A and B are shown apart, each in its own frame.
Chain A
């Protein structure tokens, strides 16, 4: 008698990832249109951003991607101790990213470049839009980093509890989510930091 089929959850996760691509895609659409209309203003506004901080954060996330890939690699081999270690390292990178981001945002606030600030309102429209999009897109991204931290923390707990069998789909899917967070930043970085 033929066996009952089961879903392995990986396709579902990739479909979910594509919805995240579309979610950010809407913001990329807005960015494209406004960049087209206010190219010079976007250039000028981008000078306010610290390329050093952005580059550092990019390296941090790339490294976190490496760490989570290794965590998944070791979990598949049931080397839970190493897997747990690499999740911790990933989380460390994640918090570093958020710290740098918080610092950057703080700087913007100090310079009066937040939505509604009098100084911002005095700038050309393209620059107002640039910063509006900057906060919206890096903010939404940071929210996904926070969610990722939550997900990975749960994975760490479940790992310690020995809940995962060989090649756990949940574990691997959590890794996929984290890589997505990395990829979104890989695009945000040049769009906001490297256009001057």
Chain B
């Protein structure tokens, strides 16, 4: 229904009680909070990308641009920033905040003030990470995994770094509580659970993991703090402690964490494929249930990070079996996306390109995960570049490209402007090419025995490292082009229509960008989220 042109005020122009920047940093509007998160997270992402660039520079044969200690600090910070400040929060807090209420026909999250509070917790955690680099002995060098006993003895600022992870965990937990409450209580009339867009299922299943798993990393970080300060002995063999129990506690969260990373992105994929295939999603219920299954089973596999740690063989066997099982629901999603596209009317647009490459990259990453999920292969591949390649394929190729897809899909709705699609496609191609040159080479490097987190290496690995670094630079060039194109689109792009992709989910029924109150009237849901019949009739 057309919006009265006189009354319509985009949410970002809406002058409330507070002037200027206060109207943003004190806003409880879910859309503004999403933008607040976007600004922070993209800054952190860019920072961590450049840490990675410096790491790759250092790994070029002959180029020692830093000391070993500095390298250790770099990969630790790269990991901490990417994992805790970017990949875990990004899709839920940027796109979940902005779109979840709209996707279910609500006008905000269940707890808008709590929502704003989580942003401040997030900012606090980030500031603490930053401060930890310059205080208390300097930047952490333990790897983002903080393994004991090294993390208990190294003279750098482990306390502040671990405490900041605790604070960030609180932010994540409260976000999860907000999402579950929102999905259960604020759906518009007619929107049963099985009429919700699958992106909502993605956010929802993720939120449960955020709620139930994150407290474990919280207590683990506190335990490191307490150990360093008071030496109670829970991880210290001298006092009867077991360092492996640290690894158990750490991975009990940090493995489900990767499902926190991927489930929302997969959800967005499930929204994108129908739109660009002009066809209903294949196997809606299977995809919905697979999201829950991944969240559930993914919480049971953590021991696969510990096969060679000294863990019992029995545990190794059980975790390996569970690891193979958890691959099944992910594969189900991939088959369903492919089946959605089959005999669809494909529209090749930037969101679709990113979504397509998500399937390719995530599949490679997932298959490589099965390899290292096998006890025997893991003996050889643990702590090599093979693992690094695996998780970059699933996290960056999966979640990262999924996030890029979400940007190209939803940015026009968020800002009312359309970026240049040709440039977007070119940036995608460059990134995709660079990514594979970079990370596939790492599979080979790892297979050949190159250990991870090593600042230097024997000459036999030199040419592969060079190729990998070149791939990295190509990839980053593509990333810069993509970022430039999107930012230019936001500020100087042409006006975007309310429904540029002809999607059938609720956000496309609102103007681009939406007003502050989102829906002027509570929508009544009568159709499914991927029902494009109205478009065929030339609505």
Contact = CB atoms under 8 A, between A and B. Distances in A.
B234 A133 contact: yes
Given A2-B524, A136-B234, A33 B245 contact: yes
Nearest to A5: B186
A29 interface: yes
A23 interface: yes
A165 interface: no
B215 A26 contact: yes
Interface string B422-449: 0000000000000000000000000000
A7 B110 contact: yes
B106 interface: yes
A159 to B, nearest CB: 21
Contacts, number: 118
A7 B220 contact: no
Contacts of B49: none
Interface string A7-19: 1110110011011
B239 A26 contact: no
Contact of B215 (A4, A5, A20, A37): A20
A72 interface: no
A12 B181 contact: yes
A129 B522 contact: no
Interface string B173-184: 100111011101
A132 B233 contact: yes
Interface residues of B, number: 46
Interface size on A, as a range, is 35 or more
B530 to A, nearest CB: 23
Given A9-B111, A22-B216, A33 B524 contact: no
Given A7-B181, A15-B180, A115 B219 contact: no
Contact of A18 (B181, B189, B211): B211
Given A4-B107, A16-B177, A19-B173, A135 B232 contact: yes
B107 A22 contact: no
Contacts of B189: 2
Interface string B228-269: 001111100001111001001100100000000000000000
A26 B250 CA distance: 10
Counting chain B CB atoms within 10 Å of each CB, the highest count among A1, A19, A25, A133 belongs to A19
A38 interface: yes
Contacts of A121: 239
B185 interface: yes
Given A33-B242, A34-B240, A15 B188 contact: no
Interface of B: 106-107, 110-111, 114, 173, 176-178, 180-182, 184-189, 211-216, 218-220, 222-223, 226, 230-234, 239-242, 245, 248-249, 252, 521-522, 524
Given A18-B212, A136-B223, 11 more contacts: A1-B521, A6-B185, A19-B211, A26-B220, A29-B248, A115-B232, A125-B239, A131-B232, A132-B239, A133-B232, A135-B230
18 contacts: A4-B522, A5-B186, A6-B185, A6-B186, A7-B111, A11-B184, A12-B110, A12-B177, A12-B181, A15-B177, A18-B211, A19-B173, A22-B213, A26-B215, A34-B240, A132-B232, A132-B239, A136-B223
The 6 closest A-B pairs by CB, nearest first: A125-B240, A132-B232, A7-B110, A26-B219, A22-B215, A23-B215
